[in-house]
Structure 1
Amino acid sequence: MKKLIILASALGAVATAALAQTTPSPKGDTPAVATPDTQNPSAPVEGANSFTEAQAKARIEEAGYTDVKSLKLDDKGVWQAAAIKDGKSVSVALDYQGNVTAQ
């Protein structure tokens, strides 16, 4: 009986951790935080952005952009910048979910 209680507790802890990693957005169709493999198709999403300027620049660079310039947080909570990707100058945005999109 004691082993059963320990096993049930361990499984509960693992299940809770797994749920915390895949918390859906309010729409329920995308992760709350984008990863390189997931991106909200309606990005950029307006909302309270907690990325610092340095974090925003790093996130944009991780998405394959270089020479990130004029990085500014707009009134909708979306970081906006100019950058280079594949040799072309583009406008790029980073939303609070971590979605990086060219505009």
Structure 2
Amino acid sequence: MNDHELHRQILEVIALIPNGKVASYGQIAKLAGLPKHARLVGYVLKHLDKDSKIPWHRVINAQGKISVLRINDKGENIQQSLLEQEGVYLLNGKVNLKVYGWTI
């Protein structure tokens, strides 16, 4: 299996995360058939095209924290803003995975 196929598998899983839910890098890797490859998920997302429709903002770390530090022109964290638009709120810098975690 080549890198392109691995990246496609990861993006296909991310595309399934429902509005208002989040998943961890490790969870995505496992669902894509790539257990122990959470860093690869991060790599794929880091290199995602800016205009992509993949809901990258729904992927967070296993502690419920945002790992992406992209800031918009208002000084807000883009990922946090996108999550809040979907009704996912951070408390003390964390998403409550019991409430907002994606379960299959």
TM norm structure 2:
0.30
| Greater relative contact order structure (CA < 8 Å, 6+ sep) | 2
Q: Look at both structures and tell me which one has the larger radius of gyration over its CA atoms.
A: 1
